[in-house]
Amino acid sequence: MHGTDPGRLKNRRFAARLGFAAAGIRTVFLREKSFRAQCAAALAAALVLLIVRPGPVWTALVALSVGLVLALELANSALEYLLDHLHPGPAREIGAAKDAAAAAVLLASLAAAAVGALMLLATRSGG
């Protein structure tokens, strides 16, 4: 994938870095059911935006909310993969770190749902 020499990882061309990012998304998508569910929710949100056409501010808020949730899902998975590799056995502090990362995803998901609900309410009332 990246090789073992840390010096060779720095200052890669943009296309190579983009490839690494795409590989990360692909890996998490294939491994994590929760990420696939969040991607499905993102597609549903995009469909709602196409149907409702709420305007640029609401569209930006929904897009940012969706992006934040997906980014946190990726970060949560990266943390879990790293911790499981470094310490495969159960450990209280590692469990706490994983729980905190999962809580970040949950909070972002709740906030995204609130943005979506407020958008629907505002567009129904003409706002």
- The string of pLDDT tens digits covering residues 34-71 is 999 999 999 999 999 999 999 999 999 999 999 999 99
Tell me how crowded residue 70 is: count the other CB atoms within 10 A of its CB: 20
- Same-domain check for residues 80 and 54: yes
Whether 38 and 27 map to the same domain: the answer is no
Provide the domain limits for residue 115.
Answer: 33-124
Residues 75 and 115 in one domain: yes
Measured between alpha carbons, how far is residue 95 from residues 59, 99, 100 in Å? 36, 6, 9
Check whether residue 53 and residue 68 sit in a common domain: yes
57 and 23 in a common domain: no
**Whether 9 and 42 share a structural domain:** no
Query: Is there a single domain that holds both residue 43 and residue 6?
Result: no
pLDDT at residue 29 tops 60: yes
Candidates 6, 73, 20, 83; CA nearest to 65 is 73
- The percentage of residues in the chain with a pLDDT greater than 90, rounded to a whole number, is 87
Q: Longest Cα pair distance anywhere in the chain, in angstroms?
A: 58
Q: Are 62 and 112 in the same domain?
A: yes
Look at residues 29, 34, 41, 27 and name the one whose alpha carbon lies nearest to residue 101. 34
Give the model's confidence band at 21: pLDDT under 50 very low, under 70 low, under 90 confident, else very high: very high
Give the separation between CA 94 and CA 126, rounded to whole angstroms: 48
69 and 102 fall within a common domain: yes
pLDDT at 125: 85
Residues 2 and 46 in one domain: no
% of the chain exceeding 70 in pLDDT: 92
pLDDT tens readout for residues 68-85: 999 999 999 999 999 999
Q: Does residue 82 share a domain with residue 100?
A: yes
* 86 φ/ψ angles, rounded to the nearest 5 degrees: -75, -30
Annotated active-site positions, please? 73
Same-domain pairing of 37 and 82: yes
